[in-house]
A and B are shown apart, each in its own frame.
Chain A
Amino acid sequence: KQEVTQIPAALSVPEGENLVLNCSFTDSAIYNLQWFRQDPGKGLTSLLLIQSSQREQTSGRLNASLDKSSGRSTLYIAASQPGDSATYLCAVRGNFNKFYFGSGTKLNVKP
């Protein structure tokens, strides 16, 4: 069974710092990888989706990379802001439309 791990579990940084969130998965046979943001009491908001054939995707201050062969993805957030405070989740899509999520990284950006 696919296992998805996210490190660190929690992260607290001062405003303005660049930061990297890590996601690893055990089975490299994936179709895509998706990064989400989850605010307290809310559902998940899709941030970036990387197809298995792609190496990275960018949206504004966010950049996600994918190294499928080594089972790793990183989410880079530039010039962090207090509004970026949330839990960030990664998910991989395997066979038969099964999606596997990590437990998330809880980010706190201090003003």
Chain B
Amino acid sequence: GAGVSQSPRYKVAKRGQDVALRCDPISGHVSLFWYQQALGQGPEFLTYFQNEAQLDKSGLPSDRFFAERPEGSVSTLKIQRTQQEDSAVYLCASSSQDTSNQPQHFGDGTRLSIL
């Protein structure tokens, strides 16, 4: 497809379960970002990849959160031992090489609900 694709669109899990969220960026986009968006708030930065290298993971809220992009294209955000406070929309964005003058393109997000 032409845009950023995220799956699943909705995920419901019980507290304590592990979840994996997938992001397919726009083909050829080097940079990939994950954000967490709480209801009524703007997205909060989680982590950033350039190709397969995770250059910044300072926004990950705890060591239960882990992201990877092993081949520099598809990325997975994994949350272990989920907690209720992890409930949010998780957004993925990609951009081409030079992000100083290229916009970020967002997927529609995965809405995660922890029961």
A and B physically associate: yes
Binding site for B on A (CB under 8 A): 4, 31-32, 34, 36, 41-46, 49, 51, 89, 91, 93, 96-104
**Smallest CB separation, B113 vs chain A (Å):** 14
Whether B18 sits at the interface, judged by CB under 8 Å, is: no
Pair B101/A93 contact, Cβ less than 8 Å: no
Q: Across the interface, which residues of A come within 8 angstroms of B44, CB to CB? A: 101
Give the A-B pair count, Cβ closer than 8 A: 66
Whether B84 sits at the interface, judged by CB under 8 Å, is: no
Interface residue count for B (Cβ, 8 Å)? 28
Q: Across the interface, which residues of A come within 8 angstroms of B69, CB to CB? A: none
Pair A96/B104 contact, Cβ less than 8 Å: no
Pair A93/B100 contact, Cβ less than 8 Å: yes
Tell me the chain B residues, 23-61 only, with Cβ under 8 Å from chain A: 31, 33, 35, 40-45, 48, 55-56
Pair A99/B104 contact, Cβ less than 8 Å: yes
Q: Across the interface, which residues of A come within 8 angstroms of B99, CB to CB? A: 93, 97
